Structure 1
């Protein structure tokens, strides 16, 4: 999977290596490892430079911009709205001193380098593979370092890293790995090995959102039918297997202690008023507070980073985001911010439905990923995260590369057909 990708006798090999290091070290160079952050910055700069040099010396045709316009406009809209909110924010200093400002720089460098390197479906496949490799390397690093330095526990805590960040990257990497396999760009053996390692890593992060998201992704992947998206027969067969797994999680002591109690807290906190864990209770408080702030300023919100600034102003003991992307957007940027951010989701949904005949599997799985994101984002704030925009770009590039995949066929798997889609849809 990585043999050709890292040919260091070529500029493209160095570009790929810098990209892997940048993505893999994004969540790791935090907290106790923030002294390594200059390495992250250097990898970003060298990634952009090597991408520019590789494009220059490869003598490729100029990048066609028409298909990139929606994503670029969306990104500018979200960033501009966050920055402009300082004009009406209740806590303008929170906007001006936000970590989001350097995050925008990190994201801009990464996305520019990717745009310089992506021109066709084969380029998209390359970056999907690089993303999976980078997260796989990060996962193995966190697992081994945790057991060597901190003993058994949530991976990342030995470096004081909040595990939810790496867990989200692991979940996306798992989904991209499944998408590569379904599109005929990754072997079965490699896919199974990578998925097993990523699933183990996700379990060790103890992130229940990512556990549910990964399980749902695998379930919907297994139930895919190239003729009609979901195969009812596969659904019927898969449901008993899922029930057995759920029963095992709650009855086998080891699984219950590592996974079961967290999932029970998620279920009781979402669907009942019964006993829940402290994490669920605090999340309820965050969401309720965010909605109250939204009710005060429903149109434009109280300003970017306003929710955390409000908690600090009232002396709340645990200042954080609202742990819900919807309430965070509503509180900080109002209805305008919510619509602006999720407009890209709508764009991708329309694109996948409209051009689903070009590559049914890719369109199906992007829709699956969007559905899972919409579910998971009820419990996690993602619109401020650099990795979130890298993932969105990969999904966007995949959706706008329909027809460039020689193996896409009707079902997206090993059905070769003449390349008759060399239109604007093939250039991302």
Structure 2
């Protein structure tokens, strides 16, 4: 890595932010103290330099939060909705620290990339130190929590950000290529299905989008299908663990995977709630309340942003939340001729977030999603500023 490491106050605050909100469990004294700390910092930053608040990212966060707060007034489960709304408010306020405090120049941005790259390894070490881990090479085995899923997810993002970081540099730093191996190792031992899917998306989309030659593109697509077939056979034979094998068999009609079956059951619950108030939803937190307290499901959420938002906030909430994603998508499509390799990779990240909506619950109190969305938004601004960095074929 770099021979000289200089940590500014901004970088130090960035480390605190990511550690407290992405590694420390939500609801602990440390995470609560961090919420208060960053809320105060954001408040004073807005007073000192309020102009930084006026951008598309911040405007979207505020509109979304106001709609969440207003949903309490028509919520079917009022008390639970109020608690859920306060969680969203804290998440939004702390997320405003990203444009106000953490990313003000290219050096801050580069440091952010580096932290995201090393984050899964730090999380893995933290997990081994502070939790009773029966098998350090199979985190899912006899696990008492699902932190292994986060480790795998962070590793998938780290994999992509290694590519982004290298794309920004004039000279490739081979030390960071080591993290490709580390990330793949962490994904394998976590047996996170989502992470395997994300790595596949990264590789496939990067291969296809980098080519403007029709013949090359067709050959790459053919290669992708060959690799997918090989991966299918490998997973089916259990070489990536029983969890991945069971999921594949579930899709083939063998309903033996409890996670898959649970998701299908909760799909029906979500659609039922959505049909009760299609435009406004039943108020923030409705799906969680029903699954946890009415049906007594062990998993209190459906792990699908699209279904969760439709249940809680209706069609209007869906338009508001994913409206910003679509805005970013339009920016990339409109400026496609200006893409360089970095822009292409951020476009891949945006597509991942659309797909991720089917696999996790990110809209509620997830601190990683606003970080990624702001980094994508920051990248779209470079498309308007620089016409010289055209993607080479």
Pairwise CA distance, 1:295: 0.7
Give the alignment's Cα RMSD to 1 decimal. 3.6
User: Which residues in structure 2 correspond to 1:343-354 (within 5 Å)?
Assistant: 343-354=323-334
Moved more, 147-156 or 133-142: 147-156
Matches within 5 A, 1:12-411: 12=8, 14-30=9-25, 34=28, 36-37=30-31, 40=34, 44=38, 69-98=55-84, 101-102=86-87, 104-121=89-106, 123-142=108-127, 144-145=128-129, 149-152=133-136, 153-154=138-139, 160-184=145-169, 187=172, 189-225=174-210, 227=212, 231-251=217-237, 255-257=239-241, 260-265=244-249, 268-269=250-251, 272-318=252-298, 320-384=300-364, 385-402=366-383, 409-411=389-391
Moved more, 216-225 or 341-350: 216-225
- Structure 2 CA distance, aligned partners of 1:324 and 1:278? 16
The answer to whether the 8 A contact 1:223-1:238 is kept is no
Describe the shift of the 1:137–1:405 C-alpha distance in structure 2 as closer, same or farther (beyond 3 A): farther
> How far does residue 330 in structure 1 lie from its aligned partner after superposition?
0.3
Q: Per-residue displacement from partner, 1:72-97 (whole Å, max 9, x unpaired)?
A: 12111111111111100000111212
Normalized against structure 2, the TM-score is what?
0.83
Under a length normalisation based on structure 1, what TM-score does the superposition of the two structures give?
Answer: 0.77
The CA distance in 1 between the partners of 2:59 and 2:141, in whole Å, is 35
Give the match's secondary structure for 1:97.
helix
CA apart distance, 1:249? 3.4
Which deviates the most, 351-360 or 294-303?
351-360
Corresponding residue for residue 7 of structure 1: 6
SS in 2 for 1:296: coil
Aligned length: 388
Alignment check: 8 A CA contact 2:191 2:241 kept: no
Counterpart in the other structure of 1:425: none
Residues 191, 240 of structure 2: 8 Å contact kept: no
Asked if structure 2 preserves the Cα contact closer than 8 Å seen for 1:19 and 1:47, the reply is: no
Deviations 1:211-259 (A, max 9, x none): 11122212322444264698333333444344334433333x5x24256
Alpha-carbon distance in structure 2 between the residues aligned to 1:399 and 1:296: 38
Distance in 2, matches of 1:46 and 1:128, equals 25
* Structure 2 residues without counterparts, runs of 5 or longer: none
CA 1:193–1:345 in 2, change beyond 3 Å: closer, same or farther? same
Distance 1:48 1:71, change over 3 A: closer
User: Within 1, Cα distance between the matches of 2:300 and 2:170?
Assistant: 40
